[in-house]
Structure 1
Amino acid sequence: MAEDYPAGGARPRRRGRKLLIGLIVLLLVVAGLLVVADRVAVGVAERTIADRVGQEIAKQGAQAATPDVEVAGTPFLTQVLDGRYQRITINLRDVRTSVEGDAVQLPVLDVTARNVRASLDTLRTGQGDIIADTVNGAGTISYDSLAALLNRPGLKLGEQNGKLAVTAPVDILGQKLTVAGTADVTVADNGAVALRFNDLDAAGLPNLPLARALVNNYAKGISIDVPLPDLPFQLTVREVRPLPEGLAVTVDAKDVPINSVG
């Protein structure tokens, strides 16, 4: 014989608990879907920016691997609705361009754009500007491409104790010698990289004023201002310093259309 349950008894409580559990599960599913949608939207934005940057690099006559773009900040969808993004990082690899016909290689160029403004329609259609209040970056110029610009047979560049070091074969008064020394590296007023080799020497150099004068003349001949290629994102070089992997440059810019690098 079935047992009767009074009002407010155990069975209604069990049903109430089931309803509460079901509601919690539903909320978790909805939250999960929102997270997935948020991540999907991030992916779409990152691909859009990467495509535009890649197109503009090609228009500039340069080459680079596909840009790696990361849009920071969560949730992303609220940033979309607001049209402002906390931070966008663009990593460029194997950038190749030319200066006066000679190839210049930047193995690494990492750029961070902050307080970025982009409308939803721009992200959806790929049309319109994506403007960053500030852009900061760091890159390297390979020593091989820098040495090619100096155009001295056998000349090699590298880093030594935080300075730009050079070695090169020379012919001094009929003797085959190797000059070596370091250079001061600064940013010139025109944005070029200024190389000043002030202290070169050579083992076995004859102790003659003419021999010393020839070495000094060689140092002056490679002490030049190296013009850099047009950098993407309207970046301006602020600092240059030698590292083991290449000549490192620190760059920045303000109010930059990051999807228009020319």
Structure 2
Amino acid sequence: MEHEQTYGRRPRRRGRKLLIGFVVLLLILVGLVAVADRVAVSVAERTIADEVSQQVAQQNAQSAPPEVEVAGFPFLTQVLDGRYERISIRLRDVQGSVQGDAVALPSLNVDARNVSASLDTLRTGQGDVVAETVNGTGTISYQSLAALLNREGLALAEQGGKLAVTAPVDILGQRLTVTGTADIVVGEQGGVALKFDNLDAEGLPDAPLARTLVNNFARSISVDVPLPELPFGLTVREVVPRPEGLTVTADARDVPINAAG
């Protein structure tokens, strides 16, 4: 009886071993596919970075080498479909090709959504890689803005959600500290202007000439901000003062993100 019971267990053991072997093989295959997927992503990211560098140059701008991240898993199914969920691009030290007085963006984060790129385009390098929407966010430091205004001792900062200014000014023989805020105006074509219309100074003499001098100073520091031409046809939509600087938000639609576009 014992011999029969022992004999009856052996097929179950062999079946269990076969099942374990199958699971191990399956895990190995999944691992290989995952590795291949990540390798393909890495190659795609390097290729897109090269294309973006050319695109930036064509837009009369320059930056440090782009940092690219292709989102979505698995990546290979996106390749076969010819459509990618999201491609994130980070550009550092964005500035105009002609230095001049253009204000540099220390970083510009670009988020391209619903990117179309056929398998044939990727293979041959011919054709367009087009993003349905592109959104960009960058920050202008207050130090660079203050340097643009070129007034000794002038400082800019965020205060209560507004762009605040503090500057020493000589008024009727007195050294006074002028303070106030600016309105930030974004034009239809994406240009940005600072309008200082409401400045005051503690101890300001009660004389029309003193007020005129403060108003003249306000006009002298009300300027158009010379932003570098943004890549991908991005147009500035909003500028918001934040503790770290002016945050610039820009967008565009149906944008070619490769040099062929």
Q: TM class, shorter-chain normalised? A: 0.7 to 0.9
Instruction: Give the aligned residue type for 2:104.
Output: Q
Q: Which runs of 5+ in 1 are unaligned?
A: none
Aligned twin of 1:214: 213
Task: Give the Cα separation in 2 of the matches to 1:225 and 1:98.
Answer: 19
Moved runs in structure 1, 4+ residues, more than 6 A? none
Give percent identity, aligned residues only: 72
- The offset of 1:12, in angstroms, is 3.9
Please state whether the residue corresponding to 1:102 is helix, strand or coil: coil
Instruction: Give the aligned residue type for 1:96.
Output: Q
- The offset of 1:89, in angstroms, is 1.0
Task: Give the Cα separation in 1 of the matches to 2:97 and 2:174.
Answer: 36
Q: 2:112 aligned with 1:113, yes or no? A: yes
Aligned twin of 1:190: 189
Aligned twin of 1:253: 252
Instruction: Give the aligned residue type for 2:84.
Output: Y
Task: Give the Cα separation in 2 of the matches to 1:231 and 1:91.
Answer: 13
Q: 1:261 to 1:184 in 2, by over 3 A?
A: farther
Aligned twin of 1:169: 168
Aligned twin of 1:39: 38
TM-score with structure 2 setting the length:
0.88
Task: Give the Cα separation in 2 of the matches to 1:76 and 1:94.
Answer: 30
Answer yes or no: is the 8 Å Cα contact 1:196–1:224 preserved in 2.
yes
Aligned twin of 1:22: 21
Count of aligned pairs between the two proteins: 259
| The 10-residue stretch of structure 1 (245-254 or 227-236) with the greater mean CA deviation from structure 2 | 227-236
Task: Give the Cα separation in 2 of the matches to 1:145 and 1:121.
Answer: 45
Q: Which runs of 5+ in 2 are unaligned?
A: none
Q: 1:127 to 1:168 in 2, by over 3 A?
A: farther
Aligned twin of 2:75: 76
Answer yes or no: is the 8 Å Cα contact 2:181–2:198 preserved in 1.
yes
Please state whether the residue corresponding to 2:104 is helix, strand or coil: strand
Instruction: Give the aligned residue type for 2:227.
Output: L
Q: 1:207 to 1:128 in 2, by over 3 A?
A: same
- The offset of 1:226, in angstroms, is 2.2
Deviations 1:38-65 (A, max 9, x none): 1111111111112222333345454433
TM-score with structure 1 setting the length:
0.88
Aligned twin of 1:231: 230
Task: Give the Cα separation in 1 of the matches to 2:70 and 2:122.
Answer: 12
- The offset of 1:5, in angstroms, is 8.3
Task: Give the Cα separation in 1 of the matches to 2:185 and 2:163.
Answer: 11
Task: Give the Cα separation in 1 of the matches to 2:58 and 2:94.
Answer: 14
Higher relative contact order (CA 8 A, sep 6+): 2
Instruction: Give the aligned residue type for 1:200.
Output: L
| The 10-residue stretch of structure 1 (212-221 or 90-99) with the greater mean CA deviation from structure 2 | 90-99
Answer yes or no: is the 8 Å Cα contact 1:183–1:196 preserved in 2.
yes
- The offset of 1:177, in angstroms, is 2.2
Deviations 1:103-129 (A, max 9, x none): 412123111111101133444565543
Aligned twin of 2:65: 66
Answer yes or no: is the 8 Å Cα contact 2:108–2:136 preserved in 1.
yes
Task: Give the Cα separation in 1 of the matches to 2:125 and 2:159.
Answer: 46
| The 10-residue stretch of structure 1 (187-196 or 61-70) with the greater mean CA deviation from structure 2 | 61-70
- The offset of 1:29, in angstroms, is 0.9
Task: Give the Cα separation in 2 of the matches to 1:200 and 1:110.
Answer: 34
Task: Give the Cα separation in 2 of the matches to 1:5 and 1:121.
Answer: 64
Please state whether the residue corresponding to 1:129 is helix, strand or coil: coil
- The offset of 1:97, in angstroms, is 3.0
